[in-house]
A and B are shown apart, each in its own frame.
Chain A
């Protein structure tokens, strides 16, 4: 059964720092991997989607990489800002039948000014 783990569970950094959030998954047979942001009491906002054939995707200050063979993805945030404070969720879509996204429990990021 596919499992997704995100470490650390919480992270505090000063404004301006570059940081990396980690996501690992147990089964390398995936269709895609998606990173989301969730603000307290709010829904999920899609940040980046990486298809299984891709190695990375970039959007603004965000860069996500995917290493399927090792079961890992990283989300790199450059020049962090207080507005980046949120919970970041990683989700994989398994390669076998079924369309459920399997979510990690998230990393809660706090960026202080």
Chain B
């Protein structure tokens, strides 16, 4: 069974700091990869996705993620965070054979103004 590990449960940053959230998965086959964000009181929203092609993908609000197949990783990055980025971030992996996604337990990001 596939699993997804997000290394940081809670990250606290000051505005303008750089962000990197780790995500590793265990599955040897072909995967699609996602980062979702959940702002306080709102539903899960797609931040970015990787299906194939360039392993560096760009999403909304200045976020990007890099797929490193050899490391089974899909880390999320943003060069300069804003207070409005305070939210919970979930990494998800879809086994293309199964067609359903497995989620990590999430990382809560708090950005101090």
Q: Do A and B bind each other?
A: no
- Where the two chains meet, the residues of A that have a C-beta atom closer than 8 Å to any C-beta of B are none
